[in-house]
């Protein structure tokens, strides 16, 4: 990519160490999510923004087919609704050495009661364009994952632009992480649309969590969450790192028939 060398040369060196209080840990255990006021420096947010924009401009994920729009059929034509790219750290390994990454790993290890070095990380970036970025329906992240494995994981979600109710900040159902994975379906009943939606969610108890750029919200892989459409005049860029403890083999796989549909639809994609 054209600007890669310049971007890497300009990497900021600022440091910020975030540690959780006992009250933070208690809040996460009770509700399944935890806002973090600030997780990285202003300089790093600006630098990450350059990488982010470069990757979306080039439609470059870290794996074959790792760039697609979450909200419409794979490889369909049309304006962006909610483009996502997977594993950006495979394109820019420097993303594994950021302040955001280090703080996220430390926070995740504390919340999961794990050795930080044992946590597997995978990044993804989700962009809601100004004025027409779609909603992401209510779901649990674990609904997307291998039903043969049992997971303990947290996502550390950081907006690069202020995330407000109007621009599509995350919303949560407090305490939902204590339930199992609910039945899900593909949005619109179309398996070629990647986004999943939980079959039945009562949003009456939902809590919206607006976050400034460079803040973060951490959530458990079974916490029900949602983000609304972007009705603001600004792009809403978000970058998540998902930290997973080593998953355990289940004696009996969970029943997640929607994943079979995902696999078939993905296999039919034309990926070069």
Q: Interface residues for Ni ion in 178-217 (CB under 5 A)?
A: none
The C-alpha atoms of residue 134 and residue 127 are separated, in whole angstroms, by 10
Q: Give the residue with the Cβ less far from Ni ion, 44 or 141.
A: 141
Please state the closest distance from residue 221 (CB atom) to Ni ion, in A. Answer: 9
Q: How far is the CB of 19 from Ni ion (least distance, A)?
A: 25
Least CB distance to Ni ion at residue 41 (A): 26
Among 24, 54, 141, 142, which residue interacts with Ni ion (rule: CB under 5 A)? 141
Comparison of 7 and 160: residue with beta carbon closer to Ni ion: 160
Least distance from C-beta 248 to Ni ion, angstroms? 22
Q: How many CB atoms lie within 10 A of CB 79?
A: 8
Q: What is the DSSP letter of 137?
A: E
- Which among 35-43, 57-65, 135-143, 187-195 is the span making contact with Ni ion, rule CB under 5 A? 135-143
- Closer residue to Ni ion (CB): 69 or 141: 141
- Shortest gap between Cβ of 22 and Ni ion (angstroms)? 27
Site for Ni ion in 51-90 (CB under 5 A): none
Judged by beta carbon, residue 24 or residue 141, the one nearer Ni ion is 141
Mark the segment that binds Ni ion (CB under 5 A) among 5-13, 45-53, 109-117, 133-141: 133-141
Question: For the CA atoms of 83, 48, 173, 148, what is the dihedral angle to 10 degrees?
Answer: 70
**Cα separation of 191 and 184, whole Å?**
12
Order across the sheet with 207-209: list the strands.
136-139, 225-227, 170-172, 207-209
The residues, ordered by sequence, that sit 6+ positions from 129 with a Cβ below 8 Å of its Cβ are 79, 80, 81, 230, 235
Contact status: 242 vs Ni ion (CB under 5 A): no
DSSP output for 22-72: HHHHHHHHHHSEEEES--S-HHHHHHHHHHHHHHHHHT--SSTT-EEETTS
Range in contact with Ni ion (rule: CB under 5 A) among 56-64, 121-129, 141-149, 264-272? 141-149
The 3-state DSSP class for residue 113 equals coil
Neighbours of 25 (CB within 10 A): 15
Residues 9-28 that bind Ni ion (CB under 5 A): none
Report which residue's Cβ sits closest to Ni ion: 141
Q: Which residues are at the interface with Ni ion (CB under 5 A)?
A: 141
């Amino acid at each position: 990519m054209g600007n890669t060398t310049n971007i890497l040369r300009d990497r900021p060196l600022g440091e910020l160490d975030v540690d959780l209080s006992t009250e933070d840990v208690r809040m996460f255990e009770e509700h399944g999510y935890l806002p973090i006021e600030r997780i990285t420096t202003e300089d790093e947010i600006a630098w990450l923004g350059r990488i982010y924009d470069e990757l979306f401009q080039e439609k470059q994920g870290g794996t074959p087919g790792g760039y697609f729009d979450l909200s419409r059929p794979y490889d369909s034509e049309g304006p962006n609704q909610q483009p996502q790219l997977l594993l950006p750290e495979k394109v820019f390994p420097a993303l594994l050495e950021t302040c955001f990454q280090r703080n996220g790993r430390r926070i995740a290890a504390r919340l999961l009661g794990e050795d930080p070095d044992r946590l597997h990380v995978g990044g993804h970036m989700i962009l809601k364009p100004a004025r027409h970025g779609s909603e992401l329906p209510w779901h649990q992240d674990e609904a997307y994952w291998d039903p043969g494995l049992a997971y303990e994981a947290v996502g550390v979600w950081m907006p690069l632009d202020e995330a407000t109710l109007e621009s599509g900040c995350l919303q949560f159902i407090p305490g939902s992480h204590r339930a199992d994975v609910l039945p899900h379906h593909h949005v619109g009943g179309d398996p070629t649309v990647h986004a999943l939606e939980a079959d039945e969610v009562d949003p009456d108890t939902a809590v919206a969590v607006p976050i400034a750029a460079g803040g973060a919200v951490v959530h458990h892989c079974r916490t029900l969450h949602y983000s609304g459409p972007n009705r603001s005049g600004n792009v809403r860029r978000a970058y998540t790192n998902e930290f997973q403890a080593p998953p355990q083999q289940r004696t009996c796989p969970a029943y997640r028939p929607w994943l079979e549909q995902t696999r078939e639809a993905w296999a039919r994609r034309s990926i070069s």
